[in-house]
Structure 1
Amino acid sequence: MPPARRFDLVLRAASVLVDGRFRPADIGVSGGRITAISASPLEGMDVIALADDEVLIPGLVDSHVHVNEPGRTEWEGFASATRAAAAGGVTTIIDMPLNSIPATVTVEALATKRASAASQAMVDVGFWGGAVPQNLGTLERLHHAGVFGFKAFLAPSGVDEFEHLDAAQLETALEEIAEFGGLLIVHAEDPAVLDAHANSGGVGYGRFVDSRPDEAETTAIERVIAGVRRTGARAHILHLSSALALPALRAARADGLPITVETCPHYLTFAAERIPDAATQFKCCPPIRSDANRDALWQALLDGDIDIVVTDHSPSTAALKFAHGGDFGLAWGGIAGLQVGLAAVWTEAHARGIPLERVLGWMSTGPADLVGLPGKGRIAVGAAADLVAFAPDEAFTVHTEALQHRNPVSAYDGAILHGVVRRTWLAGNPVSTAPDATPHGRLIAAGR
């Protein structure tokens, strides 16, 4: 009888997520990939048995992260962002083309971004490109350089170096992207609706929601649907907050249009009715809406009308977030949640009777499939050995000063959540979140 195969690493657990369900298994890892899944014990150079209260899950893929380096590294940065990702069970992030300077709208800017990340990444990092008025007609160059798709705003982005597309420019971008089979990802709010509902702001959250009504999303999304119908381009709706857009999206998808949809942990966790006055850590665009709207988003996930959940980690400094005495109209928008996204969604899902395997489909396999990474976000032979030991029943209180994020600002501060990431492996190697740890993350590119 030939000797038993000896793996670089064996992870042994009573609950391993394989093919959408949990079961006992040994996972054999060689050369950074999963090379065996066995109901019988495997031999390895290193054998690690998970604790009884831990489950082995695939590393999450977060396709919506604003790292902000270079240019606004004081807001975040690759070192702190990727440590936060690893601490939260995220082993792959796809970085948004803003709010860095330069924005990732040229091949040269992409090279600058990659150079900034290369020596700091604790997890794997890929990049979105941007579609702005100035680079239309040149998007295929960025596509071939390895970006995973192109982000566009339909209303002002908030930063001068990333301008939004008007209706005609959106059509141009969709036509261009359709020609080479790319993907347009869209921040869908209509500027005319926003202008019509602008108000003087203030410390009350309701005034802020009034300034960015559901209609801003529904109108913009209908414009994207019409453009996809005319051009055949693939489009993805970012950070859906309004459930009123779901009927139009459902109908478009039933017609076979190539449109996918995401929502975010903060829209699934918080409700407008419970946001205190002047609590500008909750400001994001589009806004957190009502409790009933939150219920509708959860139902849309269960029904398959929303495909994935990603954080839209969008940090800033405390000075920007809390300036102007808590005026929601003047404070910087964006919620920092990269490290706690999984725990936040799992806590709410568990309370609703939704099993962990559904959550992981939305936060690992789904985002990996969106960006074309079939070897990530799943525990399968041949997949990357990006793995997480997760204790789903352990509770903890979020303290922003203890998070790996660069700035101690988060809407989750003080929240009691369930689900603790005990250990994270990237390509079979343990990831340390210590500031002096050696980075082992890789830069990844679409189609490679």
Structure 2
Amino acid sequence: MNYMFKRTLAILLVVPVLMMTIFSAPGSADAAEDLGLRVDAAILVDADTGQILYGKNEDATLGIASMSKMMTEYLLFEAIEEGRITWDQEYTVSDYAYAVSQDRRLSNVPLRNGEKYTIQELYEALAIYSANGATIGIAETLAGSETEFIKLMSEKAEELGLKDYKFVNSTGLNNSYLQGMHPKGTGENDENVMPAKSVALLAYHLLKDYPEVLETTSIPKKVFREGTSDAIQMDNWNFMLPGLVYEYEGVDGLKTGTTDLAGHAFTGTAKRGDTRLIAVVMKAVDENGNGSYKARFDAARSLFDYGFNQFVKEEILPADHKFKGNETLPVNKGEESEVKIGLKEPVTMLVRSSEKDKYTAEFTADESKLKNGELEAPVKEGTVVGKANIVHADGEPVYGNVDGTPASFDVVTKESVEKAGWFSLTLQAIGDFFSGIWDKATGWVKGLF
């Protein structure tokens, strides 16, 4: 066998192995095929910590349709909390809200032009039935006009850390459905867009800051204006709620969305035991490539099954965990020359049950707290001095949080160190002086040889 033939054969044998290694490497976006999801994007998040458990194409900017209404809900709850409006405050229906509410192609409760409705009524219609006219009514109440309201939406998105978003209305509809009265400065066919990761981050903040939203999103059916001539049955579009066609144990929210651009999308949340998950699926299709309600709920079910079946909440590092080689930090001008450091609290994360003992942490000091590598006395117990970055012993990826931060936890001082008195400082200075002389002297002697 000549040299060239051997070399060619080796290449033919090695290349397939390399290709298998490259394309089977673990990663957030490439793991989606393992779950068989037929979606343009998806993400699964721990609702308590924001930890990402799974992602597929989660950074791609896509249509979000009525999932936009989660931002309207957030701004509404914030205004209620701050006392700017009240639940029993009344809204007088504008020509714009009236016109949109009469379009039966859309999800709506018909509103009477010039009639008064309470904010509570409008909110329930939004949260349960995804009513678009009612959503516009809330936007006009909070900002005076929908044009001003989308400015509030963008400002809040920036504040919450959302990325690559665009809001052109409060509802998530394509502007072409807004009777030619879409917000000024937006296009006639514009639509709200955002990546799945930002949608999940919005849901995370909504649940963290205003968990009472679940009291309404969990209602499967309710009659709008019951007992009046305007009464209309509101069936929740979240068919995963208990008693509905695709029910799933623990589901109590959050928001569906459907337009031509967004396809069939869904932000769902479910709780079992102490674990609450947030699942986002975007543009879900069935095995034939057709979008449907079932397709989006099947995709969400797969995500929830994955999260609840594969992960458990475990304490992976105790509060007394020691960072090898970083058990202490030096202290300048203190009664002690160093201070013990450690985790602020035990590290608890959702991990695969078989991998509880495969996690450790690496210490990264907060350089802004140090001067020439030392803490300056006095040092108080509990001072945050850095982060513990979680790593997997086998090199597997440890996904960060949905807000873009890594999987890390605060490291603090475990004791206090008082500033040394003048006498101690004088002795330290003298010691440093003679130590310096000694170092120079020994260096000079070594130089002789």
| Structure 2 length-normalised TM | 0.25
If asked which structure has higher relative contact order (CA below 8 Å, sep 6+), I would say 1
Normalising by structure 1, we get a TM-score of: 0.25
Report the structure, 1 or 2, having the larger helix content: 2
